[in-house]
Structure 1
Amino acid sequence: MDAYNVPVGPAAVRGPRYRFRNPARPAFVVQSLIAAQALTDVYVIATGGEDSPWLADGMVPWPGVLQVSCWIAFLFWFHRVRCNAEVLAPGRHRYRPAFALGAWIVPLAMWWVPRRITLDIQRAGGTPRDVWLINAWWSVWLLDGPLSVTFHLLVLGRWDYHGPVDEGIAVLCAVLAIALVRRVTAGQPAGPLPYFNMT
């Protein structure tokens, strides 16, 4: 057990199901991967969009590997800060920690539940003074993800379009995601933690 992995608050008395764990390392990993993805998007724009060397057949499967790595790292970080939020503010969340992973794949719920979970995590770490950042990130993510895929499938008949507008939105989404990860992580105390009397 390190300095971060300690029970706090009412959970410290009743034998917690969740323990506070340092979110800094997962945050660093996910920010690095998102930044790498953003740089590749800029490179794709600068080198001809769909004709970019990064998207050439010889590069398969590296673009996909980087994208999937970003998703896995983000989900790992997101679940960790959600479990930490349960320790900081037990019983004050609308969704269970496991839903920090499941909400992203539940049809319809995936369009708004992760945003609500993020707001709850931010509230557990203090005053949610950056609701605008969460809303901006979520709006651009929807535009870059589900809405973009839906538009390309229904209008263009394909889902892997790499036009400059699409890549530009992806870069903006990456910048906002990095800012979000930094802010949410900074909102959680860096241990060793004191006893939080949340009752």
Structure 2
Amino acid sequence: MKKKYFIIGAVVVVLLGYGLLANSSKDDTQETGQATEQIAQNNENEQKFGVGTANIATTESDKKDEETQQPETEKQTEETVEHRTGDNIVGISDKDITEIHSTNYDTVRNDVTERWKCLVLAEDNFDVTEYALSCYKNHFDSDETILAVINLTTKTSTSISKVAGNLYVSEYEYVDGEEHDAKIMFSGMHLVDYIVYIDNGDVEKVTEED
């Protein structure tokens, strides 16, 4: 009798162990199946939308590279504009006005337009046309600005304005105190006029000195 109960107990233990192993195997199989299904779903989404983590990182990197290269492209375009030729092309406006010491006035007394500005400097061998394009880039608030460049050493007063898409530069004899009064600014004897082309800085003389 005892032997019979022992055999029955052994069979029960074996059956329980088999059941536990079967459940464990079933859970592992289910988890493996779910993981496989998730991977398949991810691959399907990437194929459908064409976007994965690596693609997102690459897109952001390409965008930053494009933004970084844009100013260089604009600079190259400006430098590759062919220079004009002819007897009246007398130079290139390619010097930096910020390297010249000057006193800057953002307003001029008695200016009813509120568009006039003034630079006062004292320089020998100063050709204002060589700095005109830099003046435009650094001192014009808008295309309606009129900039006076007064050189107390050479006793000249120069008007720089934008006309028909380029800079018109007119030089006059300096009148004492004109930097402080719009009513007498550019009232001296007219000397010469130039056009400075904004696309590449070419300087063209349009009138002869009086």
Relative contact order: is structure 1 or structure 2 higher (C-alpha 8 Å, sep ≥ 6)? 1
TM-score calculated relative to the size of structure 1: 0.21
More helix by share: 1
More strand by share: 2
TM-score calculated relative to the size of structure 2: 0.20
